[in-house]
Amino acid sequence: MNKVLIIDDVHPLLMEALEAAGFEPLYRPDCSSDEARALAADCMVLVLRSKLYVDDAFLSAAPRLRLIARAGAGTDNINEKDCTHHGVGIVHAGGANSDAVGEQTLGMLLSLLANIAKGDREVRSGIWDREGNRGAELKGKTVGILGFGYTGSAFAGRLYGFGVQVLAYDPYKTIEQVAHVRQTDMDELFREADVLSLHVPLTNETRFMVDADYLRRFRKPLYLLNLSRGPVVRTKHVAEALQSGMLRGFAADVLEKEPPSALAADDKKWFDLLLSMDQVLFTPHVGGWSTESYERISGVLAARIIRWFNRESQMLPTLLEYYKI
């Protein structure tokens, strides 16, 4: 049994590397969730992004599965407890798209501060409003980073040279040897932050962590960036905070439910309100989906699958060295 079922779009490098290691890739990115469940019954490895949720029911119908490999960062659509129960391992491509997310975060922040998206829309509509698009500078501000894993640290790296104070809080990491970053606690972030950027995984602890009570604890109106997971933030409370002036701006690459057409009627009301606000910026979950990361994710994931099975492959040393795994 060497079949690897791939149910989402990936770079051809993944298939090439798996075949070189003796696997048999079955590339079905256009299959439905039901089709994926049927195909997985005969496969040893499942490669996916976010097409379906892997739980006990799925695993019970796929007794030959030994490994779930997620072509992205995080595993919030994989029930780790159920995988452990069924003896199925989990790997993901964490770190492969961190550079893309770091750059996207900086780009969205600069766009908010300088009213770039608003100004572009107005000029295209024949409006030439210089005073109404007067921006703010990043220099001199305090940028708080919540979560200092792959993407949080990548964003911090992009802030070097902007003349900002960078405060990072991560209860599970010790931040060492980053000259322009100082590790802090949430109390200081609540007092000092002009910008808060979220880079946390979606867990029971972080789900809807950013709500009205959380936002009220900040001493200064701030810019909020979410390039982690949509359900970390309550959309309704962000909209209310923008209306009250508690938030100066909001940028998000992720939503509570994606795509927006999946939102319930009450949630869609608040999302539509955000869409009407000039100080809000959205992108369609592409922060980690650059041309470069598209290839890097597949290379990193291939190396981790091959290494998990202890397979011999001429490509593995090259992958490990090139992607610095």
Residues 144 and 203 in one domain: yes
Q: Kindly list the catalytic residues.
A: 229, 258, 285
Residues 182 and 69 in one domain: no
Domain count, the chain: 2
Show the domain range for 104.
98-282
Residue 139 CA: distances (Å) to CA of 99, 165, 197: 22, 9, 16
What pTM was computed for the model?
0.93
Mean pLDDT for the stretch of residues 97-122:
98
Residue 40 CA: distances (Å) to CA of 2, 8, 24, 84, 228: 12, 13, 13, 18, 29
Residues 48 and 105 in one domain: no
Residues 70 and 164 in one domain: no
Residues 116 and 239 in one domain: yes
Give residue-wise pLDDT tens across range 227-271: 999 999 999 999 999 999 999 999 999 999 999 998 888 889 999
The burial class, CB within 10 Å (0-12 / 13-18 / 19+), for 178 is middle
Q: Angle at Cα 136 formed by Cα 134 and Cα 139, nearest 5°?
A: 150
Contact 287/307 with Cβ under 8 angstroms?
Answer: no
For residue 87, is it left (φ>0), alpha (ψ between -120 and 50) or beta? left
Q: What's the token pair of residue 275?
A: 């869409």
Tallying the residues shown for the chain, one arrives at 325
Give residue-wise pLDDT tens across range 268-315: 999 999 999 999 999 999 999 999 999 999 999 999 999 999 988 989
The predicted pLDDT at position 266 comes to 86
Q: Indicate whether 167 pLDDT > 80.
A: yes
- pLDDT > 70 fraction of the chain, expressed in percent and rounded: 100
Residues 120 and 55 in one domain: no
Q: What CATH number is associated with residue 109?
A: 3.40.50.720
